Amino acid sequence: MQYTLKNINELRVADLKTVMRPAAAVRLIQGQSELGAKPNITNVTDFNVGTYDSVNNNVDQLSRHLETGNVVIVQSDPLDELSVLSSIGRLSTNLPEALSSKVKDLFVAVRSTSSINRAIPYELVSKQAAISSLAAEQQAKADANAVNKTVAHPSASRVNNPKANTANGSNGASTRPSNPYQSQYTPVVYYEINVEFAGQWPRNSASLFLEKTNEQDKAIARPRADRNLSHRSLSRFRNIDNEPRNLYLNIPDKNGSAPLQLLLAENIVPVEKDTEMDEWDNVLVPVRPLAYLDEGKNKANAAELKGGYLYLFWKGELWRELKVSERSYYQDVNLEKYRNVPAQQNSDNDSELRPADGSGLPDLWIPYKLNGQVQAGATGVKLLFWPTQLTDDQIDNYEATPADLDKYATELDGLSAYSQSQAFSDDQHVSDMLSNSLIPVTDNDMPWLGNATSLFGRLQNANIATAYLDGQNKGIRFKFEVGMEDYDHGHSTEYLAHLVDSKSQWQQTQLVTVVKDSHGTWRECVFYALPNQGEFSLYVVNPDNNYERSLILSDLDYAALAKSVPVDDKIVTVDELAQPDESKFAPDQFWDDYHDLLTQW
């Protein structure tokens, strides 16, 4: 086995596969010294590792330089297990800092002059790629030298015309560089994309990612607290090419399936590495929605949501649909999965038109500024809460008729306060978390409002925003006595309650649910978003028998309906099947199918 001793500055790309690890090199030279054999390492005692002193042991001195990475031993016949690179090109660990830095610099040079994907860390660049890069470099130099020899005149050489060379100022001195092995590669400039988040808060399972391109792989980043500025967090995509990228929101699936991916912005331009900005061109604001408890929309009278659905309309279109869980987490629906698919065919669960598959999130990441453009007005975000899942027709109507959406939705243009104060002022429907206080929910409030405050408390000092929504707390709750039911024997009938206004086209159908802890004796239903003017009639229908129904209340105005009206009628089986009064029910197929009831109304 033959070895060559080199200074660290002489190390080249082609040597990477043959450089011995320091520990192996030290064992080699110490073993040779102990055996008394002449080392076959070139000029050990004469190598410039320090002033020669016959008293000192130059082998030990050389070992110390190997251990610090100032000197390397290169094998002419490499053994992979002894090299600084493994057989797959991964950089060995625990290398001296000087040697590790030099190897990294060489890999940077390889990546800058080859077709290697720059998104791959330098440790994973294969030895074959390094050698191929070197071969291409040497071939280019050989071709250049051949051209130079062809055009050069013999009289131009220093041998044939030494005086001319002296006259030109060289004085016959050698123009050869002091270190012929020194790298001539231009340092690579790395780029990055930074996305700013308002506040610093506990992590959630969502993340951001850059879409894959022809030159670069997909990259994922999560928000991390900015150590220099306490009002914000940053998602940094480091060491990428200077190539515009598309940015996505990445939401894991609760069942471990493919994550939900939502486009945020296209063609985001990177900046040079280590660039700093007071506010970046791409800013997301985490938002925690609260529900107004009264019609006056008083922020001092608000509560958490524990049911229903949240709808984020962005640029006039529905961007996200989220189910609110009992614990006040938000779960995304994969809207793209259900586009152009009839709602009643989307789920085996009759209570959901579009099931929520996303993992639970404690807040919503709202796009505030993208590519330097503030998202407001026509391009802004509007947030809508609805106790039940919207049908396809309702979604289409809100997208086509912004005026209808504005009746119930909250616009989030107030997030612009962040650019002025790095916090959120008391805007019309937006504020900071610190100024909020939650009001206990009572039995008179709607069932989708709750008293849970654990998430609210965790986020209160996070410098994120609160958005206040119409909680649809204005509703009517009816309770019916149905008699004792034995759930262990036989079928328990599911009743529907249908409320219709004879003065308008408004109507609503709700499932009559079992009251908790009632052993089936009582059932109730809740209607919401009723018109202020109208005459209302309430029917209870047994969907198991197409014509079985009871008229509970008839032609009451809203004021009378809102009073505590005793309902003495029990839900009973009608012996004589009466034909339905079609004038009371707008859908033509009211009696045909129970599933149609849930989707049409």
DSSP characters for 292-332?
E-STT--TTSEEEE-SSEEEEEETTEEEEEEEEPTTS-EEE
Q: What is the mean pLDDT of residues 37-48?
A: 53
Q: What is the 3-state composition of the chain as percent helix, strand, coil, each rounded to the nearest 5?
A: 25, 30, 45
Q: How far apart are CA 384 and CA 449, in angstroms?
A: 15
pLDDT of residue 250: 95
Which of the residue ranges 164-168, 211-215, 281-285, 393-397 would you say has the lowest mean pLDDT? 164-168
pLDDT of residue 52: 42
* Percent of the chain clearing pLDDT 70 (strictly above): 69
Q: What is the mean pLDDT of residues 134-144?
A: 69
Q: How far apart are CA 169 and CA 91, in angstroms?
A: 46
Which of the residue ranges 14-18, 362-366, 493-497 would you say has the lowest mean pLDDT? 14-18
Q: Which of 120, 121, 101 is nearest to 9 (CA)?
A: 101
Residues 475-600, CATH architecture: Sandwich (2.60)
Q: What is the mean pLDDT of residues 223-232?
A: 93
pLDDT grade, residue 266 (50/70/90)? Answer: very high
Tokens representing residue 531 in the block: 């018109």
- Give me the DSSP letters along 507-565: EEEEE-EEPTTSTTSEEEEEEES--SS-EEEEEEEETTSTTEEEEEEEEEEHHHHHS--
| 545: Cα within 13 Å, side-chain hemisphere | 15
pLDDT tens per residue, range 526-579: 888 888 788 888 888 887 776 677 888 888 888 787 775 554 444 443 333 344
Q: Which of 334, 387, 373, 326 is nearest to 356 (CA)?
A: 334
pLDDT of residue 187: 57
Is residue 484 predicted with pLDDT exceeding 70?
A: no
pLDDT tens per residue, range 406-457: 989 999 999 999 999 999 988 888 998 887 778 899 888 888 999 888 888 8
Q: How far apart are CA 294 and CA 313, in angstroms?
A: 24
* pTM of structure: 0.63
Q: How many CB atoms lie within 10 A of CB 142?
A: 10
pLDDT of residue 564: 52
pLDDT grade, residue 359 (50/70/90)? Answer: very high
pLDDT of residue 115: 54
Tokens representing residue 347 in the block: 């789920």
pLDDT tens per residue, range 210-222: 999 888 889 999 9
Q: What is the mean pLDDT of residues 324-329?
A: 94
Collect all residues with Cβ–Cβ distance below 8 Å to 422 and sequence separation of at least 6: 198, 229, 231, 232, 463
Q: How far apart are CA 60 and CA 48, in angstroms?
A: 14
- Give the residue extent of every domain in the chain: 1-188, 190-473, 475-600
Tokens representing residue 487 in the block: 């759930």
Q: How many CB atoms lie within 10 A of CB 594?
A: 16
Is residue 385 predicted with pLDDT exceeding 90?
A: yes
pLDDT of residue 177: 46
